[in-house]
Amino acid sequence: MHFDISHKDKDSSARAGKLHTDHGVIETPIFMPVGTAGTVKGVHQRELKQDIEAEIILGNTYHLFLRPGMDVIEKAGGLHQFINWDRPILTDSGGYQVYSLSGARKITEEGVKFQSHIDGSYHHFTPEKAIDIQRSIGADIIMAFDECTPFPCDYAYAKNSMAMTHRWLKRCMNQMDKTSCTYGYSQALFPIVQGSTYKDLRQESAKVISSIDAVGNAIGGLSVGEPEEDLYEMTALVTEILPVEKPRYLMGVGTPWNLLECIALGVDMFDCVMPSRNARHGLLFTSQGTINIKNQKWSKDFSAIDAESPCYVDQNYSKAYLRHLLKSGEFLGMQIATIHNLSFYLRLMKEARSRIIDGTFMSWKNKMVKQMNQRL
């Protein structure tokens, strides 16, 4: 796996590149739809390819480990075969999900003991086990096992957590060296920068992660409730240190304007449940702003969902019809809204890439951030 940067923006740290994997080439900047349990909720793989034009999707180690279990996924020939997806997949390590189970887990140096949200059974994740599970899942990009600190957290907790994440990283790397991909293609381990919102910790962690010389690097522990200004400040601090020639992945971010601002700071890859989760609640992202399609004002608006979009659902269904479906609790409404939002995110990334290439990124970005960050 390797990464090529073809263009750099003259007025920012934005860049256009290509990440080459055994399941295809990913053009960056890129947004990765989240397929937690082997599915992007409510969306067929055909729609992911043809309508949304996703180049890579996410799977979740914690959820897939609990259900359907590694025996099923291994017998299927890996997650690609199980879900019939022939493009790249990234899996997170399960660290964030364990973090979210704050009342049902215990963290020690060895790893994390947690209680399943499904049946209450107890399990123990270690860095080694996280790697073994991700080997069995077979994703192209796998994440180091880390502890995601809550926001806010005190300095001592953040510092100790960061140091443990670095120690866990060494164990992840050792386990990677001892094992190979179950299915015969290459897998790349991305380490994760932590440090909460403390500048010196973020800088220290970024230096440690940079020294690993991994194929790519991730920035974690953000988008957990901190103000947007902190998100941008921490991202800028870290991207100034991380190797320029390696892809940078900002985990769990964010709104469309967050993505554009962070592309300007030198980030290449993003994932977030926001476009799909918000869609199921009737919040639609567009280039002109955010629409709450459940509002009465759209009840007799028979115009296309998004006249600017070439996506099938945007051209073939009206705002009034989508509102009716969602107000009625119809699953089709959630599906249409999800396809719309994800298609918008992927088109936004393509447009950002073309703007970086033609040298107009910053002026376009500033205009788009202002437009998108308003309610219609």
Active site residues: 92, 271
Side-chain-side CA neighbours of residue 242 (13 Å): 32
Cα dist from 290 to 34, 209, 284, 313, whole Å? 21, 37, 6, 17
DSSP conformation class of 85? -
Helices (H) and strands (E) in the chain, counts: 15, 17
Helix H or strand E segment including 178: helix 155-178
CB 221 within 8 A of CB 147: no
**CA 271: distance to chain centroid?**
2
CA dist 254 and 265 (Å) reads 14
Neighbours of 124 (CB within 10 A): 12
- DSSP-assigned beta bridge partners for residue 190: 143
- DSSP-assigned beta bridge partners for residue 27: 18
- DSSP-assigned beta bridge partners for residue 285: 290
Phi/psi at 361 (nearest 5 deg)? -60, -50
Give the type of residue at 40: V
Select from 48, 15, 13 the least CA-distant residue to 33: 48
Evaluate the CA torsion angle 330, 333, 336, 337 in order and state its sign.
negative
Select from 88, 40, 11, 74 the least CA-distant residue to 356: 11
